[in-house]
Amino acid sequence: MPESDGETTELLPPIRPRKPYIARIKFALRLSCTVLLLAFLFKSFSWSSVLQKLEHLDDGGVVIGVIIGLIGVMLSSYQWQSLLEGEGITIDLKRLINLYLVGIAFNHFLPTGMGGDVVKAYYVGREGRNPSGSISAVVMSRVTGFIGMIIVSVPSLIIWHIAFPQWVVITYGLASLAMCSALFCVFFAVTLLPKFLKGNWARYRIVTSLLEIGMTLRESLRHPQALCAATIFGVLFHLSAALNYYAFAMILHIHIPLPFFLIIIPMVSLVSVLPTTINGYGLRESTFIAILTSLHVDPSSATALVLLTDTQGIFFAVIGGIMYLLMREKKIAGKPAP
């Protein structure tokens, strides 16, 4: 987090240690929900139909879709770089792309959606010799990404809401409102929470986390140019994500207008944030298929699209895993990381 003065430091009391058995219970519950959702999902469609659709994919179309996905990775890296420069940290774009892929690997292969953020913040903070600025940039990349998503999706929903079932419109509207309200509350938590929560209450991890994020949001306002640039890249990223899914949908002969994906993908992203499954697995796929089938897409085609995009994510994660192993080997050999 950004460096703070003495007054702010007093707002952050020591964190109360998390009880190990509580963490294990939470993990077991999330794992159970993930397994149940995936089991229900896999039994709800015909595997033969899905595999038949995947077998007849156009190779050139798949390559184009993956290239668009890589463009999204580059845009996210540019977004991250603009925030780092606002914190006075200069890192080469190639290095940031490598670390972004490493972050994808950690997000896919560890039971937490934030593992990649921790890894990215650690390496950039160490190389830029500014750990607090690095953490701030990672947090704000999430925030500006959300703002970019709202800028893209809300106007699209207003224009094309008639084409979607009412439950999709209401769910996305409530989820977006909840996230905006949460950011608003966290922003003012730095001022309000210390006045009302004192003693042992102030030591809980959730309270200290809210205070740290709130301080990051406040400090980031000192760099409006970096925030604007990051938000623009966030908008471009969500446009590229919609184009990525649209390209794969065209390969599978799913004829859904491109603007619809500007609504579908943000809604799936918001739903998958719920801490009910591991990394959103099961919940993300079920929501995506439910929305597509409500738009009169047959379940096998919807499932094939989900599996195709998940495979792309795993492909990027494998590349990131290889990058991480190469980084470790070069570190052991005493050579600079790529």
DSSP per-residue codes, 66-127: HHHHHHHHHHHHHHHHHHHHHTT----HHHHHHHHHHHHHHHHHSS-TTHHHHHHHHHHHHH
What's the rounded Cα separation, in Å, for the pair 288 and 42?
Answer: 14
174: burial class by Cβ within 10 Å (0-12, 13-18, 19+)?
A: exposed
Q: Is residue 19 part of a domain?
A: no
Q: What mean pLDDT is reported for the chain?
A: 83
Work out how many domains the chain is built from and give that number: 1
Q: Is residue 3 part of a domain?
A: no
Tell me the pLDDT band of 11, cut-offs 50, 70 and 90: very low
What's the rounded Cα separation, in Å, for the pair 182 and 113?
Answer: 18
80-110 pLDDT, tens digit per residue, is 999 999 888 999 999 999 999 999 999 887 7
288-336 pLDDT, tens digit per residue, is 999 999 999 998 999 999 999 999 999 999 999 999 998 877 766 665 5
214-239 pLDDT, tens digit per residue, is 677 777 778 889 999 999 999 999 99
Alpha helices per DSSP H over 44-58: 47-55
- Answer yes or no: pTM beyond 0.85: no
Q: Is residue 191 part of a domain?
A: yes
**Token code pair at residue 208:** 């200290």
Contact status, residue 263 vs residue 157, Cβ threshold 8 Å: yes
Looking at residue 81, what is its pLDDT? 95
What's the rounded Cα separation, in Å, for the pair 223 and 250?
Answer: 41
Q: Is residue 105 part of a domain?
A: yes
- For residue 143, the enclosing domain spans 58-333
151-186 pLDDT, tens digit per residue, is 999 999 999 999 999 999 999 999 999 988 888 877
Q: Is residue 184 part of a domain?
A: yes
Q: Is residue 29 part of a domain?
A: no
Looking at residue 15, what is its pLDDT? 46
Q: Is residue 183 part of a domain?
A: yes
Q: Is residue 49 part of a domain?
A: no
